[in-house]
Structure 1
Amino acid sequence: GMAARYDAEGNFIYPEGFDADSQEWRPGFEAQREEWERQYAEAQTRFMAHRKQKEEAKAADAAAGDAPAAEIAAE
């Protein structure tokens, strides 16, 4: 994910050029906005891949857990 930054009181530190009050990027900070959006997109891609991997592992665990029960029932 993206590394979040916080000050000594635990308040989130917004990226340079981002106005926390209006939730908009200030003029002249297009490069910072583009870099932040690039990092966000990469983090989102990693998160979705992680989520998919967890779902696949859970399904594999469930399938593996069902296999011994099916073998016992067949005997």
Structure 2
Amino acid sequence: MFPELHRRLIRLERDDYQGGDRPLVVRVSREPTPTADPDWCDLHGIHIAGNGDRLGERLLRVRTSALRDRLESEGL
């Protein structure tokens, strides 16, 4: 479902993922996978702090449109 995101560093705005209370930077560790709701997908990524430290693996439910928009804005 967005294989070009694998291993990329992306910033998610708080409205881009469920339960978001602030922007989040993650390095995508697996290709995002579809959910039963086509508006959302599951994304595994390593949470990256503002200073570059790795804060651990996260599983996030992310808006499909946010990922698509990100790819289009980067010309991918």
TM-score by length of 1: 0.21
Larger RCO, structures 1/2 (Cα 8 Å, 6+ apart): 2
Quick check: which one's strand share is greater?
A: 2
Structure with bigger gyration radius: 1
Judging by fraction of residues, say which structure has more helix.
1
**With structure 2 as the length reference, what TM-score do the two structures score?**
0.21
